[in-house]
Structure 1
Amino acid sequence: MIVHYFNTESYGIPIHAGTVSPKTIKGVVVLVHGFGEHSGRYLSGVVPMLTDLGLAVLFYDNFGHGKSGGKRGHCPGYEALLGLLGEMLDKSAELFPNVPKFLYGHSMGGNLVLNYALRNEGSLKGIIASSPYLRLAFTPPKWKLVLGKVLLKIWPSITMPSGLDADGISRKTEEVEKYRADSLVHDKVSPMFSFPIIDAGEWAINNASILKIPTLLIHGTADPIIDVRGSEEFHKNNPEYTTLELFEEGFHELHHDLCSKEVFNSIQSWLRQQL
């Protein structure tokens, strides 16, 4: 697998990105990683699964993540996150013209791809949202929420520990250890990053019915980080265009969990139908 990296800039911040493409290109996927991690974590599992179907993949590190610039865990705002995603979609159309376009987002990335599709009319062929961050599975301490909302107004760029428990990403101990050892993974989050994401998750659930793009939602029933009921509600509000696949006892990163083979089979089956 040959990876072609490129650098660009958005909102004055350097962005690290790259592409992988099969010999025959049937479509292109823009991949959006989760909070605190980076796109490189998808190159050994998710990306090959997509290229095996003849899909090119464009991936990037979000603001304040991975090899992109910006303060760790901070971004210019939610509209900037959606704006960067739009720029990456445009870039994918430039690099891989005249083929179907898909979005694939995990966790925070799932929040972004769903909200982007809900707010922008476009020519997307389909969306895959993996454990989409629509609602947290745990309630942060009340003092932290109160303080965070105050800081959002007076110091939106200050960062605090996100509170994410790495043990919840996978039932495979080796995957948790890899996550903890990854120098590009961080646990910092600013009020400007966290609160708009939370609000956008609830907005997406409440407005799911306006989505007119085939969408696959995948979620583990034992996800301790993002509430599976958020995905269930999104699907309930739009059963016509969404397909919900639940994986019993699955943790947050299904692509790194014990059920990853079944997850990849489900994704590939759904994508074949769209293609």
Structure 2
Amino acid sequence: MAATENYINWKDDRQVFLGIEEPGQTKAVVVLIHGFGEHSGRYSDGVIPFLLEHGLAVFRYDNIGHGKTEGQRGYCHGYEELLELLEHVIAKAAKRFPGLPLFLYGHSMGGNLAINLVIRRSVRVAGIMASSPYLRLAYQPPGWKLQVGKLLKIIAPRFSMSSGLDPEGISSIPDEVKKYREDQLVHDRITPNYAFPIIEAGAWAIENSRLMTTLIIIIHGKMDPIIDHRGSVEFDKGTDYSRLVLLEKGYHELHHDVSRDLLFKHIKEWLGEQGLH
């Protein structure tokens, strides 16, 4: 297996981190999109080895405002920039492995971006694996915070505040929560330019799920206190291309929780149906 790390020269000369991992024999390629406030390196101890084991090369990147990518934490120019960057990474992956099936693996915000990209921009991929996709928050931010945020989006879009995410909600395993808290690349900063477009895009995806014509498996924990699993249920009901798996004991980060084996079991079965055994 081979691994390389480099950077994409993005807009305003920002350097976007890109990592590439290749199995011994590549059957397909997957672009991995991490969740809000974290980074792609947090998938190196579970998701990435699993994908490599099944013959998928992995393109992972740290999104704008995250991880090793340059720029203000929790800030982007707008939602379209996030979709544009994802599409750019997909193009790089397709060029590196021409002719091979290309999948998307998106967790939380990453699932939001993957779903919206294929619906809004008609980007053709072989399928999507979405874990705990950010379609609807499980908690309602205080009304004052929403009002202030909407005002700041107009007059001070770079203004940063705490996202309000409680790390205890990512996993029922204390050690995983500890690792999250101690990770120097994890942050809880968010700006109006990030927060509101993501929320709006999640709602839009649910309302327009009938437009989804790409195969997708959605796996969500019913005990997720961060992203409402019922948003995934509503999305699944609107399209014939979705398979929904609800895990009774799953918290938000299924790949770092007690339901990890079940997560990988269902993805393995789904990949097998796509010809990847």
Normalization by structure 2: what TM-score? 0.97
Aligned amino acid, residue 165 of structure 2: L
**Counterpart in the other structure of 2:234:** 233
**Counterpart in the other structure of 1:23:** 24
How far is the alpha carbon of 1:268 from its aligned partner?
1.1
How far is the alpha carbon of 1:14 from its aligned partner?
1.0
**What secondary structure sits across from 2:92 in the alignment?**
helix
**Counterpart in the other structure of 1:8:** 8
Question: Which whole-Å CA distance do the structure 2 matches of 1:273 and 1:122 have between them?
Answer: 21
How far is the alpha carbon of 1:123 from its aligned partner?
2.7
How far is the alpha carbon of 1:62 from its aligned partner?
0.5
Aligned amino acid, residue 274 of structure 1: Q
**What secondary structure sits across from 1:124 in the alignment?**
coil
**Counterpart in the other structure of 2:170:** 169
How far is the alpha carbon of 1:193 from its aligned partner?
0.3
Aligned amino acid, residue 9 of structure 1: N
Matches within 5 A, 1:182-201: 182-201=183-202
Question: Which whole-Å CA distance do the structure 1 matches of 2:47 and 2:241 have between them?
Answer: 23
Question: Which whole-Å CA distance do the structure 2 matches of 1:145 and 1:9 have between them?
Answer: 34
Unaligned stretches of 5+ residues in structure 1: none
**Counterpart in the other structure of 1:209:** 210
How far is the alpha carbon of 1:202 from its aligned partner?
0.3
Determine what percentage of the aligned residue pairs are the same residue.
Answer: 52
Question: Which whole-Å CA distance do the structure 2 matches of 1:142 and 1:197 have between them?
Answer: 17
8 Å contact from structure 2 (residues 118, 124) kept in 1: no
Aligned amino acid, residue 40 of structure 1: G
**Counterpart in the other structure of 1:257:** 257
Aligned amino acid, residue 166 of structure 1: P
CA deviations 1:102-156 (Å, max 9, x no partner) are 0110000010000001112233100011100000000001100000000001111
How far is the alpha carbon of 1:76 from its aligned partner?
1.3
Question: Which whole-Å CA distance do the structure 2 matches of 1:95 and 1:181 have between them?
Answer: 35
Question: Which whole-Å CA distance do the structure 2 matches of 1:82 and 1:198 have between them?
Answer: 15
**What secondary structure sits across from 1:244 in the alignment?**
strand
Question: Which whole-Å CA distance do the structure 2 matches of 1:165 and 1:85 have between them?
Answer: 27
Aligned amino acid, residue 230 of structure 1: G
Matches within 5 A, 1:68-83: 68-83=69-84
The count of residues paired between Structure 1 and Structure 2 equals: 274
How far is the alpha carbon of 1:249 from its aligned partner?
2.0
Question: Which whole-Å CA distance do the structure 2 matches of 1:23 and 1:258 have between them?
Answer: 29
**What secondary structure sits across from 1:75 in the alignment?**
coil
8 Å contact from structure 2 (residues 52, 58) kept in 1: yes
Normalization by structure 1: what TM-score? 0.98
Matches within 5 A, 1:132-143: 132-143=133-144
**Counterpart in the other structure of 2:155:** 154
How far is the alpha carbon of 1:10 from its aligned partner?
2.0
**Counterpart in the other structure of 1:106:** 107
- The answer to whether the aligner puts 1:244 opposite 2:244 as a matched pair is yes
**Counterpart in the other structure of 2:223:** 222
**Counterpart in the other structure of 1:45:** 46
CA deviations 1:49-94 (Å, max 9, x no partner) are 1111111010000011000011001111100000000000000011
Aligned amino acid, residue 49 of structure 2: P
How far is the alpha carbon of 1:9 from its aligned partner?
2.0
What CA RMSD, in Å, does the superposition of the two structures yield over aligned residues?
Answer: 0.8
Question: Which whole-Å CA distance do the structure 1 matches of 2:68 and 2:136 have between them?
Answer: 27
CA deviations 1:131-188 (Å, max 9, x no partner) are 0000000000110000000000111111100000000000000000000000000000
8 Å contact from structure 1 (residues 30, 102) kept in 2: yes
Moved runs in structure 1, 4+ residues, more than 6 A?
none
Aligned amino acid, residue 5 of structure 2: Y
Question: Which whole-Å CA distance do the structure 2 matches of 1:268 and 1:58 have between them?
Answer: 19
- The answer to whether the aligner puts 1:271 opposite 2:271 as a matched pair is yes
8 Å contact from structure 2 (residues 218, 232) kept in 1: yes
8 Å contact from structure 1 (residues 127, 215) kept in 2: yes
Question: Which whole-Å CA distance do the structure 2 matches of 1:121 and 1:79 have between them?
Answer: 14
Question: Which whole-Å CA distance do the structure 2 matches of 1:198 and 1:64 have between them?
Answer: 17
